[in-house]
Structure 1
Amino acid sequence: MEEIFIVSESLEGGYEAKSLQNSIFTQAETLEELRENIKDAVKCHFAEGNTPKIIRLHFVKEEVFVV
């Protein structure tokens, strides 16, 4: 079992991560901190023994420019 997160840069600075499968959301100032926050959020969401073995992060970067 794996948990997939969409990671994007926050408008206020830092990063946000949202699970595609479950109601898990977290944020942090750095990517290193975000990874730790994701691990903690996943552990809190699932009962012991049901925690996903793999956490997959998909990074999304939105870019807007004028032609």
Structure 2
Amino acid sequence: MNELIFIVESAPEGGYTARALGASIYTEADNVTELRHQIRDAVHCHFESEKRPKMIRLHFIHDEVLAA
């Protein structure tokens, strides 16, 4: 696997959640810096070194609401 993609969203209670596409990995953190660390740690725990993806891509989902 060359690349693993995470969908990152703002959590309703604050902070962020991230879930991997194609792997059973989910993590959360209070800020983006901590989230990056949590994602790397989760990927290292989930994959053996020879099967670990070379790149981790974060896809941020941002909802914006405008008054009509």
Give the 3-state SS of the residue equivalent to 1:49 in structure 2.
helix
Q: Which residue of 1 aligns with 2:4?
A: 3
Give per-residue Cα distances to partners, 1:18-39, cap 9 Å, x unaligned. 1011110000001000000000
Listed as ranges, the matches of 1:55-66 within 5 Å are 55-66=56-67
Listed as ranges, the matches of 1:1-67 within 5 Å are 1-67=2-68
Structure 1: how far apart are the matches of 2:54 and 2:18?
18
* TM-score where L is the length of structure 2: 0.91
RMSD, aligned α-carbons: 1.0
Structure 2: stretches of 5+ with no match in the other structure? none
Structure 2: how far apart are the matches of 1:31 and 1:54?
17
Report the more deviating stretch, 33-42 or 43-52.
Answer: 43-52
Structure 1: how far apart are the matches of 2:63 and 2:46?
29
* TM-score where L is the length of structure 1: 0.92
Identity %: 51
The AA in structure 1 aligned to 2:57 is R
Structure 1: stretches of 5+ with no match in the other structure? none
